[in-house]
Copies of this chain bind each other. A is one copy, B any other.
């Protein structure tokens, strides 16, 4: 039900963008605030993660790797952010669909692991965040806390 709702909302936002002559953007200043919030949350939990943020074009704007984070998370955080951006939905949605039996989705070039979230402004996508380093559920908690602290969720 929640997925359907998200889908409906996204369709509305997509329609809204059609023929628009400008696009809301994500600045480095905003990305920094989001990353600061993510890092603060991670530190408070004693978790080490990589934080990756993409802008309205899906291009990397900021990446930080906290000391001690597993090296593989550099790529995974960016891939989660890419999937969340490219499909305008949390990576957790794909994770749950595959876990629920939709194994054919693994043939898509996606990273179906919780921890990636799209960033919207007035219903328009302006970027995404990807967190990797601890369990995917914990990664997801950080991503959500970051966007909430930045008033973007």
Contacts and interface: CB of A to CB of B under 8 A. Distances in A.
Interface residues of A, number: 64
A98 B65 CA distance: 27
A63 interface: yes
A65 B59 CA distance: 10
A76 B104 CA distance: 13
A68 B14 contact: yes
Nearest to A64: B62
Interface in A14-73: 14-15, 17-25, 27-29, 32, 46, 48, 55-73
Given A14-B48, A21-B25, A23-B22, A60 B65 contact: yes
Interface of A: 7, 14-15, 17-25, 27-29, 32, 46, 48, 55-76, 79, 83, 85-88, 94-95, 98-99, 101-113, 135
